[in-house]
Every structure is written in structure tokens, then in C-alpha cells.
Structure 1
Amino acid sequence: MEEKWEGKVSTTLPSTKPHQIWPLFKDFFNIHKYFPTLSNSYGVHGTNGEVGCIRVCVGSSRSFFQPKKDFDSKINGEELVTLSKERLIAVDEVNKSLSYEIVESNIGLTSYVATVMISQGGDDQGSEGCVIEWSFTVDPVQGLKYEDMVKKYEVSLLKMAKAMEDSLITSS
């Protein structure tokens, strides 16, 4: 059996502080507001942002991963969508990190655990802005190369960080 894939990507927001970004990630049930290929996400168990809560993420056919063909993922007989049920397994308010696992999906990710951490940094001295780091561990994904998966994460994190930063600008 192949070893698990482990990856880590990060991006810097030079003018956004960790305490501004953290609540957007902790709003676990509403990640679709920022994640580029999710059309919806919603809570199905527990209290939003608390360990043990579960969300369902719904993606479009142009999603991060493609749905498995043997999984009935049509909605009203229309396009295939990606579905994943994700459980929040750790929240660290002090270090601004959270971890979650996929408990069920139609996208081929098994034994998937990810951690998002927001830390201080962004300019040359590291005193302004923030760094968002997204790491994952997963069983190898059939039909996908490790390098391609990491690239998907890089692109998605960049788009998500920009959407989060834009939402903070428009709400202030």
C-alpha cells in the first residue's frame, strides 16, 4: 500500500491581521462564501465552530475534485456535484488553528485530515499581516498525481484568501 500523501501550502495577506481572518475560518458551516468551487456549505450536526460539528460542502461540476461516477450526485436530474461531509476535530483559539476530517464524500478522498493555521506575518519584519497555512494528510487519490493535488490546494488557497480579504474590505 502506498504511503499517505502529506502536503502544505501557504499564502500571505500583507495587510490583513490574523484576528480578522480567523473568524472567517472558524465559521465552519459557511466556508462556501470564500472557497472558489463550493456552491454551498451548511451545518448538519452540532454548533458552528465547535469541535464535533459537521458540515456538508457542495461543489459544482467545475469543482476542486470530480465526483466518482458510481455515486449518484445529481440534483434534480442536473449536473454532477461534489459532496463531502466534514467534521471539525480540533480548534485552537490561541494559535488560531483548526483541524477537520472528511467523514464521507464522493470525491475519492479517504483518511483525509486537514489543518488550517493563521499566524502573524506578512511584511519583511513579519509584524504586519498574516500567513494562512493549509496542510493535509490523505490516502493517495486514484487518478490524481500528488503534485497536481498540491497545485489545486495552492490555487484554491490563493483564491480563498483573496475572497476573505475582499469581504473584510467591503464590510468595513
Structure 2
Amino acid sequence: MEKSSTAKWEGKVTSSLTKASADQIWPLFIDFFNLHKWFPGMSACNGIHGVNGEVGCIRHCVGFPFKNSVGKDCWAKARLVAVDPNEMSLSYDIIESNFGFNSYVSTVKVIGSGAEGCVVEWSFTIDPVEWTTYEYMVGMYQDILDKMTNKMEVGLVEKKAL
């Protein structure tokens, strides 16, 4: 991962799944108000405005796995700003938080890779964050995405087995 030459930090991480298709994984991401089911360390995620999965809806999430957070109750309000169901991509921004994420926009894209697999890409653009480094941020995103997609895949495989 290379750091952008602009003042903003830009990065992208990917995770490959071999036992869950894009059509199975995409609905889990577009369920915007229920991220806590998959995001490691997130204790709650609730819709506070709009219709779940529709552009303009806002979620309030509590609990993030940051190295140098401001305390136990890190929170953020995120707004869904774009959805493309054909491309299986969504973009959101953080409109308010208590952990120093400013001018934050992120995109998640689910890409099919055969009948039984897919790749999830998670990219971000953010103003530099005082309490961390770019390298830590990219590593954190990779770790979170790997844990999320693993939990999604295991959950889907277990559901199929029932």
C-alpha cells in the first residue's frame, strides 16, 4: 500500500472469500444499520435517520478497536452517500465522531470471483489522524476487513449446514 502524495490519507485493502459468493456477502454490507453483527469490537450500531440501505440514511455506531482511542465509548455517525447494487458497492462518510476521523469517506465493493467466492475491497480517504500513522491505519483496516469477512463467511456456511 502506497501513501498518497496529497495531504489526505488514501488506502485500499482487500479480503478474499472462497466459501461465500458476492450475492451472499453484498446483502450483509448493504444492511447498513447492522454493521455490529460483523465488525470486530463494535458493541452497537443503530439507524438514527432514514431507511436502512438507502442513500442518506445515518447510523450511530459504538465501539471501535483503535490502538490509541479516546476511551471505551468511541462512537461515530456515518451517512450512506452512494449505493450501486449492480456494482455491489456503497460509499459512506463519517459526519461526526469522537476519535478524530475528519473528512472521512469510505467505499466498500464486493466483487464476484467464481460461483463460490468473492473479493471485498474497502477503500478510504481521510485527513491525517493525530493519534496514529498511515501505516497503522492501513493495517487496522486490513485486520478489521479480514475479521469481518471471515465472520460473514463462517456465518453463511453454518447457515447452509442447518
Give the one of 123, 138, 144 matched to 1:135. Answer: 123
**Shift in Å, 1:66:** 4.4
Matched with 1:84 is: 76
**Shift in Å, 1:107:** 1.1
Matched letter for residue 75 of structure 2 = L
**Shift in Å, 1:170:** 2.2
TM-score, with normalisation over the residues of structure 2? 0.91
Matches of residues 29-48 of structure 1 in structure 2 within 5 Å? 29-48=33-52
- Percent of paired sites with the same residue: 52
Give the one of 141, 152, 155 matched to 1:164. Answer: 152
Matched letter for residue 9 of structure 1 = V
TM-score, with normalisation over the residues of structure 1? 0.85
Matched with 2:90 is: 98
Whether the 8 Å contact between 1:111 and 1:139 is mirrored in structure 2 is yes
Structure 2 vs 1, CA of residues 65 and 45 (structure 1 numbering), >3 Å: closer, same or farther?
Answer: farther
Structure 2 CA distance, aligned partners of 1:40 and 1:66? 20
Matches of residues 111-150 of structure 1 in structure 2 within 5 Å? 111-121=103-113, 128-150=116-138
**Shift in Å, 1:127:** 5.9
C-alpha offsets along residues 86-105 of structure 1, whole Å, 9 cap, x if unaligned? Answer: 00000000000000000000
Runs of 5+ in structure 2 lacking a partner? 1-5
Farther-moved stretch of structure 1 (127-136 vs 21-30): 127-136
Q: What SS class does the counterpart of residue 38 from structure 1 fall into? A: coil
C-alpha offsets along residues 2-23 of structure 1, whole Å, 9 cap, x if unaligned? Answer: 7000000001001211000000
- Does structure 1 residue 54 correspond to structure 2 residue 46? no
Runs of 5+ in structure 1 lacking a partner? 69-78
